[in-house]
Amino acid sequence: MNVEKINSALRSLSPQEIVEWAFSLKKKTVVTTNFRPYEAAILHAVSSVKSDTTVIWCDTGYNTSYTYIHAREVIDLLHLNIDLYVPQQTVANRNVALGIPEVDDPKHAIFTEQVKLEPFARAMKEHEPELWFTNLRKDQTAFRNSLDIVSLSKDGVIKVSPFYHYSDTEMDAYLAENKLPNEFKYYDPTKVLENRECGLHS
């Protein structure tokens, strides 16, 4: 797969057209979400082309009540085919054993593995996707600036980010045009800083 050539061809297409292109590859496909801000856009773009697409929701267990309410609203609105993955340890158990370690605490790596990396790895192992829709966008982190609409994961999965070049203003317009809700009271206990990479996209 010539990723550079593909990205050049897709650059002028709309997110919907990019999604349609991806499905034309006829690969085993999933879309991942955590219902953070603007996630309704990728979920709408994908489900409007193929409504039964598997949506992997990795829930850390630390979401705000606003995020859980938002998630239910989007799931019901778009009739999503959700497959929920949660950590193997409860929050109560972890609060005693680890709490929420600071980023510079050696225990933070264990915490991140438990609440984010392990559930995600389990989901991907069980579903074995060949193509993975994400809502990565340029300028979110330094690492994501090195990607593009289409990239390959370290495991060779085709990763497609239809909104990669969209600004927040363009995302707001997409949500408004499609009457989609948004929610900003989102909390990721593993990142602390908004521009830290989450560890799932290497």
Residue range 34-74, pLDDT digits in tens: 999 999 999 999 999 999 999 999 999 999 999 999 999 99
**pLDDT value of position 140:** 63
Q: What is the pTM of this model?
A: 0.89
Residue 184 lies in a domain: no
Q: Which domain holds residue 106?
A: 3-177
Would you say residue 187 lies in a domain? no
Q: Which residue has the tokens 């019901």?
A: 76
Count of domains for the chain: 1
Residue 192 falls inside a structural domain: no
Phi, psi (rounded to 5 degrees) for 131? -135, 135
Residue 80 belongs to domain with CATH number: 3.40.50.620
Distances (CA, A) of 7 to 108, 161, 165: 36, 11, 11
Per-residue model confidence as pLDDT tens digits over 151-170: 998 889 999 999 999 999 99
The answer, yes or no, to whether residue 197 has pLDDT greater than 80, is no
User: Is the residue at 191 inside a domain?
Assistant: no
What residues contact 199, with CB distance under 8 A and at least 6 apart?
112, 116, 117, 190
105 in any annotated domain? yes
| Domain-embedded: residue 167 | yes
- Computed on alpha carbons and rounded to an integer, the radius of gyration of the chain in Å comes to 17
* Interval 95-141: pLDDT, tens: 999 999 988 899 999 999 999 999 999 999 999 999 999 999 997 65
Residue written as token pair 């609409």: 149
Please indicate, yes or no, if residue 200 is contained in any of the structural domains.
no
**163 lies in some domain:** yes
